[in-house]
Copies of this chain bind each other. A is one copy, B any other.
Amino acid sequence: MASPGIITFTTDFGASDSFVGQMKGAALSIDPDLRLIDLCHEIPAQNVAAGAYVLETGYGAFPRGTVHVAVVDPGVGTSRRAVAVAAGGHVFVAPDNGLLGRVLGRERPECAVELEPAGPGGAATFEGRDRFTPAAARIASGTPVESMGPLARDLVVLPVAARPEPDRFASIPVIHVDRFGNAVLDLRAEWIGAGSGTDDAPAIVVRTPGGEIDRLHRTYGEAEGDSPFLVVNSAGYVEIAVNGRDAADRLGLRPGDTLDVRLGS
């Protein structure tokens, strides 16, 4: 897999410090020709599950061979492993704490290695700059993943919701609320017999604090009025939306909540 020389960054570092900028400086210090792209830096602080969703749903838009650095790392500097993983035609560099867990729930790793510790001048409190990014920059510059360290086995995989049995209510978590207030369910669009529902037996029913929702629209703007409805988002997950409004706020939904969902047969 030839590298296109692109690194993306996903962190919980926010924008009020220079942490993200310093990671980019570390990358350019290794190879000034790398392309450096922000995927997201507003992962809620130390929320590994939220980072896992953003990473899973974001990396696919990039060219094959892109290196994705992700740092949401409550255990920075401790004994949790730091890994580089080739999977799905991309490379991921991250702590092995579940942050890659959703990607790895979908893509079998082709190669996974444990990264060396940061050098003697490195800070134990900022491995994003001193360990993860330098490794990513070397890989994006052409160093093969397998030469970056000893093989790593048994990576942490997050439990991704399985396809619920048809015609029975199952408990499905809200995995993300986006900027517009759309509440994403851990439910793949391909699990719905889309278009197969009827008024008597809709293809999907979601129970929310504001009532049952079974209307599935193709786009936000198609929905009339301000009733909540379902839509397949751009990452292939089912989400709850209200046209022009913040659905999560309206229904009191937050990431981590669970809702009863029934799929048609």
Using a CB–CB cutoff of 8 Å, the interface residues on chain A facing chain B are 4-6, 8, 10, 12-26, 28-29, 32, 35-42, 45-46, 54-55, 57-63, 66, 74-78, 123-126, 129-130, 176, 178-180, 218-222, 231-234, 244
- Interface of A, helix, strand, loop or mixed by DSSP: loop
Given contacts A38-B20, A40-B16, A42-B16, A222 and B78 within 8 Å (CB-CB): yes
| Alpha-carbon gap, A5 to B32, bound state (A) | 9
This chain: how many copies in the complex? 3
> Do the beta carbons of A41 and B15 come within 8 Å of each other?
yes
- Which partner residue on chain B sits nearest A10 by CB separation? B18
Report yes or no: B218 in contact with A63, Cβ–Cβ below 8 A. Answer: no
Bound CA–CA A46/B32 (angstroms): 32
7 contacts between A and B (CB under 8 A): A17-B179, A18-B55, A20-B38, A29-B63, A32-B63, A45-B179, A125-B220
Question: Is the pair A25, B233 in contact by a Cβ cutoff of 8 Å?
Answer: no
The interface residues of chain B lying within 8 Å CB-to-CB of A180 are 45-46
The 6 closest A-B pairs by CB, nearest first: A77-B219, A126-B234, A25-B61, A18-B58, A25-B62, A123-B234
The CA-CA distance from A179 to B41 in the complex, in Å, is 11
Smallest Cβ-Cβ distance to A128: which chain B residue: B234
